[in-house]
A = this chain, B = another copy of it.
Amino acid sequence: MQLATDGQLKHFLTIEGLSPLLLEEILDRAEQFLSNKSQNKSPVLRGKTVMNLFFENSTRTRTTFELAAQRLSADIVTLDIRNSSTSKGESLLDTIRNLGAMNCDMFVVRHQHSGAAHFIARHCPAHISVLNAGDGHHAHPTQAMLDMLTIRQHKEDFQPLKVGIIGDILHSRVARSQIHALTTLCTGEVRVIAPRTLIPAGIEKMGVNVFHNMEEGLDDLDVVIMLRLQKERMQGGLLPSEREYFSLYGLTEARMKLAKQDAIVMHPGPVNRGVEIDSRVADGKQSVILQQVNNGIAIRMAVMAMTMSGQAGELARQ
């Protein structure tokens, strides 16, 4: 449902089901935006209005979407919906219908419930594109694409790569989207590395290899992707203490030696120093964490530009 009838992007809800060609197109488009160093804004979204709908707070993600939209010359309205009519008991459907009636062209949606972005795309007016900025434990597709861009900038080709994702796979929308992106791009091997309590049952069906031992999992990796450990998990009894977690699964300089010498270290931020990753690794030469942040704006510009053009084509055909 995120594709127009001619196969172009109309919404961007999940990586699942998208073709390798389309993913490459997003990466190429983002590279174009990165290589344009002039001060001139792109006029791609001039006269368009982007509505940021943040049902869940995220200053960082909201900011990068705002910056991306501004660079494309869009108008922006940001709604912190936790304080709005929905708190007066209005249903999500009513909220979306109302916002959809307000002359706008794109919804950027962050929501604590899995499936919210799909639900909104299904129920909003046809001329509005929906971009998923994170929904529950389900997907965070722009994060996954900025990660793919970062990998491609360091490693020519995905096919020979061994990529490990380490941490709370069970609750991570980032991990889920990364796995879809990596397998779609034909990555040689994708591993998930975590304690048993943090791995969802049946994840092997997504095409990944499961490791419970950090040393075995890190062996010979080209790309090491750390996830942020939500400290709330420990209170839920899924995890022992921070100290024990770090001793078993923390990324240290010593452990990094098990990966390839030219392996890169990634993290979606914000980093819990000393919990999932040692500061010397987070700030070390192999870390590309800040490059990920920078790529985030270019990826969001690419997806915004492509979905708007997909919508325009779809509307022209009708």
Contact = CB atoms under 8 A, between A and B. Distances in A.
A271 B86 CA distance: 11
Contact of A98 (B80, B81, B102, B269): B269
Nearest to A84: B59
Taking the full assembly, how many copies of this chain does it contain?
A: 3
A259 to B, nearest CB: 23
Nearest to A60: B85
Assign chain A's interface to a size class. Answer: 35 or more
Contacts of A95: 270
Contact of A103 (B77, B83, B294): B294
Contacts of A97: 290
Given A67-B104, A269-B98, A290-B98, A59 B81 contact: yes
Interface string A183-222: 0000000000000000000000000000000000000000
A247 interface: no
A298 to B, nearest CB: 9
Interface stretch (A8-16, A38-46, A158-166): A38-46
A272 interface: yes
Interface of A: 39-41, 46-49, 57, 59-60, 63-64, 66-67, 70-71, 75, 77, 79-81, 83-85, 88-91, 94-95, 97-104, 231, 269-273, 290-291, 293-294, 296-297
5 nearest A-B pairs in the assembled complex, by CB-CB distance = A59-B84, A39-B47, A101-B293, A90-B270, A101-B290
Contacts of A291: 101
A272 B47 contact: no
Contacts of A296: 102
B70 A75 contact: yes
A67 B49 contact: yes
A236 B294 CA distance: 46
B101 A83 contact: no
B271 A102 contact: no
B66 A294 contact: no
